[in-house]
Amino acid sequence: MSQFLSFPTDIQSLVRFIYNSLRFVTVASTTVAFLLSTLLYFKQNSLIYPSYLPEGARTKVPRPDEYEISDWEEVTLTTPDKEKLNSYLLYSSKKENPGVTVLFLHGNAGNIGHRLPIARIFSEQMGFNIFMLSYRGYGLSTGRPCEKGLLIDAQTALEYLLKTERTKDTKIVLYGQSLGGALSIQLVNKNQDKISGLILENTFRSMRILIPTAFPPARYLAKMCHQVWPSETTLPKIKECPVLFLSGGKDELVPPDHMRVLHEVCVSPVKIFKEFPNGTHNDTVGEEGYFDTIQAFIQQVKKGKF
């Protein structure tokens, strides 16, 4: 039993461990298979929320100063359940009211500091405010990640932006990558009159549908997965909010047909699908035309017309 108890914490070794274990399971007893599934069940949060990757992600969070960003604030949000979320608010480089604040909801690994090169394009080149939410259990924020908790975190960030001086008179646009996309969909659904636009990048239909393709060794876990992220069934409840779908055609983690299905089920009067044929899961952001597409979308949201 001891090798099971000293479970690896690093995701790569975890996945390798599961692969090896399953190869073993095919010749082993159902008891062993049951034990493994049970362990996986309790370990699923470290698969779904690898906030400890890359190494040092819980202690080293790059700061906007390191990117010579000058107009920004560190915002520590306190959630209703008392978690402290160490986030950044980058202000528009424009002197006049930028009209829009983007709420950036990142993917499941790393921390907000790793996304500063992306965020500064919004604030400096496009001229919008951008709030980088650090979820519970990520970067320097307290707590542990889970679906319910991340929903509280996103709601807390939204309410902050709706009342704080320099953002309260701007429209809110959500920008969600991968897991952050799933979170964005839930947040828009609960706050339909407060959010003016939704941008989704390489996100998935639901966690249960994703698991068997993203982590084949964990396919037995899919039905037991307690982290649901039901994007496919929630998105059709969003009636008005314009949605932009950014899909990497070479996404190796979330099969691109997840984005196509989400686009199909979306009933919003404005839904735009933009495919980047060479985009991979985390590098779609580097494809030509990526930020131009986003800027054109947000400009339309800002003007209130398409």
Ligand X SMILES: *[C@@H]1O[C@H](CO)[C@@H](O)[C@H](O)[C@H]1NC(C)=O
- Map the footprint of ligand X across residues 225-254, applying CB under 6 A: 252
Burial class of residue 23 in the structure, from the number of CB atoms within 10 Å of its CB (0-12 exposed, 13-18 middle, 19+ buried): exposed
* Smallest distance from ligand X to CB 289, Å: 8
Among 280, 293, 295, 300, binds ligand X (CB under 6 A): 280
55 lines the binding site for ligand X (CB under 6 A): no
Residues 6+ apart with CB under 8 A from 78: 84, 85, 156
Residue 226 annotated among the catalytic residues of the structure: no
Nearer to ligand X, 53 or 151 (CB): 53
278 lines the binding site for ligand X (CB under 6 A): yes
117 lines the binding site for ligand X (CB under 6 A): no
282 lines the binding site for ligand X (CB under 6 A): yes
Among 66, 68, 165, 288, binds ligand X (CB under 6 A): 288
Tell me the CA distances in angstroms from 213 to 131, 220, 293, 299, one per residue in order: 32, 12, 29, 36
Handedness of CA 124, 128, 134, 135 (dihedral sign): negative
Residues 6+ apart with CB under 8 A from 221: 37, 40, 41, 44, 211, 215
Residue 257 annotated among the catalytic residues of the structure: no
Q: How far apart are CA 85 and CA 88, in angstroms?
A: 10
Residue 178 annotated among the catalytic residues of the structure: yes
Catalytic residue among 21, 178, 196, 247: 178
Catalytic residue among 87, 231, 251, 258: 251
Annotated catalytic sites, by residue? 178, 251, 281
Q: Where does this chain bind ligand X (CB under 6 A)?
A: 252, 277-278, 280-283, 288
